[in-house]
Structure formats: structure tokens, C-alpha cells
Amino acid sequence: MSDENRPEYILKGVMLTEKTAFLAESRNVYAFEVPVDANKLQIRKAVEEAFGVRVVAVNTLTRLGRPVRHRSHQAYGQTRKRALVRLHAEDRISLY
């Protein structure tokens, strides 16, 4: 298995906010921060391997970096990608 397909590379971190906690309790959906170049199949395999659960669906969203001015130069902030992973009704991930 190459390094870019390992779960440690694909799943950068779990996003714990009030909204994601509500989604986890009500709809069994968990949010992860992933690399921008990761696709849905890689994310699905990484979650299944890392937590031993069955993934039903993966939705992703990409937030482009905002333009930032620093003196006379203009740069862009970091582009981020988030994955919303819905699990089988019988599976859960304990994050707390």
C-alpha cells in the first residue's frame, strides 16, 4: 500500500463542532478533514479501515482559500476539503 492511500494520510482529522455533533447523533454522519486531492473511494476505504465500520455514502466539499493582502502582495489562503461520511445504521464511531 502506497503512502498516499494509507488512512493516516487520507484522514487528517475529525471535525468536532456543534453541527457535526448534531449530524452524528441524528443522521449518523461524521465529518473529516481530508487532502484536496483525495477522492470519495479513497475516503471510503480509509474510514472503513481506520474505524472498522461500513460506509453508506461520502459527500465532499472544497473550500477555496480566501485572497489575503500582505503589504503590496496578494496571496491566497489554504484550500481545504471536508468529507461528510454517512455510516450504516448499526455502526457508530466514538469520538469523545
| C-alpha to C-alpha distances, 4 to 13, 34, 37, nearest whole angstrom | 15, 11, 10
3 pLDDT more than 60: yes
Q: Taking the alpha carbons of 81, 5, 58, 53 in that order, is the dihedral positive or negative?
A: negative
- Summarised one tens digit per residue, pLDDT across range 27-68 is 999 999 999 999 999 999 999 999 999 999 999 999 999 999
Radius of gyration (Cα) for the chain, nearest Å?
A: 15
CATH architecture of the domain 3-87 equals 2-Layer Sandwich (3.30)
- The amino acid sitting at 94 is S
Across 8-35, b (16+ Cβ under 10 Å) vs e yields eebbeeebeeeebeebbeeebbbbbebe
